[in-house]
Structures are given as structure tokens and as C-alpha cells.
């Protein structure tokens, strides 16, 4: 859960996608959420989000920037089926859970 206070000042949320391995964790790319859209139009519905990042055979500062910011990325890395729900709360808290 990610708490969001209304009214929303910045409607943009960037999520980084990682490949977790026993040797080394690597960032694959990132995706952008429009929070206003998630609260209103997509609340509770399933939708696809595209992941963008740097080409696989490259490295360096530009590669790190592309993997962290999908607006400057040059390679489509795949997509994820997601569901976002928004609910009102008196005292919002952040919850983190590992996925299998």
C-alpha cells in the first residue's frame, strides 16, 4: 500500500522493476502510474502496464538513467497485468510485502 494524500500535488508515480537473483539484483526497467487515473478510472480494474528500460547489451550512466526513468528509455522490456485499488483511510500506512 502506498498512501496518497488528496488533493494530489504530483500525479506521477514511477515504479522500478528488479530481477532478483542469488548472485546480483538487477534493475530491468521502470513504469509510470498516473495516480489520478488509478484513483478514478482504473480503481479496482485490471490493466496492463508496459515496462521500459535500456537495451540489454549496454551499461553506464545513460543505461542507469533509462532503467530508472521510462520517459528517456529506448527499449520495451515487457508488460505486467496489474490491479490498483484506492480506498479512503483515516490514518494511512505504508505496507510492503515480498512477492513469490
Tally Cβ neighbours within 10 Å of residue 90. 4
27 Cβ partners below 8 Å, 6+ apart? Answer: 16, 17, 18, 19, 53, 64, 67, 68
- Name the band, by pLDDT with cuts 50, 70 and 90, for residue 80: very high
Q: Residue length, the chain? A: 100
| Dihedral (CA of 84, 7, 3, 92) sign | negative
- Name the band, by pLDDT with cuts 50, 70 and 90, for residue 2: low
- Beta bridge partners, 74, equal none
Residue 38's pLDDT is what?
79
Amino acid at each position: 500500500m502506498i498512501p496518497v494524500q488528496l488533493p494530489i500535488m504530483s500525479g506521477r508515480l514511477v515504479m522500478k522493476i528488479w530481477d532478483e537473483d542469488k548472485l546480483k539484483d538487477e534493475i530491468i526497467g521502470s513504469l509510470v502510474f498516473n495516480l489520478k487515473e488509478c484513483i478514478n478510472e482504473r480503481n479496482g480494474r485490471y490493466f496492463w502496464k508496459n515496462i521500459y528500460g535500456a537495451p540489454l547489451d549496454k551499461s553506464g550512466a545513460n543505461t542507469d538513467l533509462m532503467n530508472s526513468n521510462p520517459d528517456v528509455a529506448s527499449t520495451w522490456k515487457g508488460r505486467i497485468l496489474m490491479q490498483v485499488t484506492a480506498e479512503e483511510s483515516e490514518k494511512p500506512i505504508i505496507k510492503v510485502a515480498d512477492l513469490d
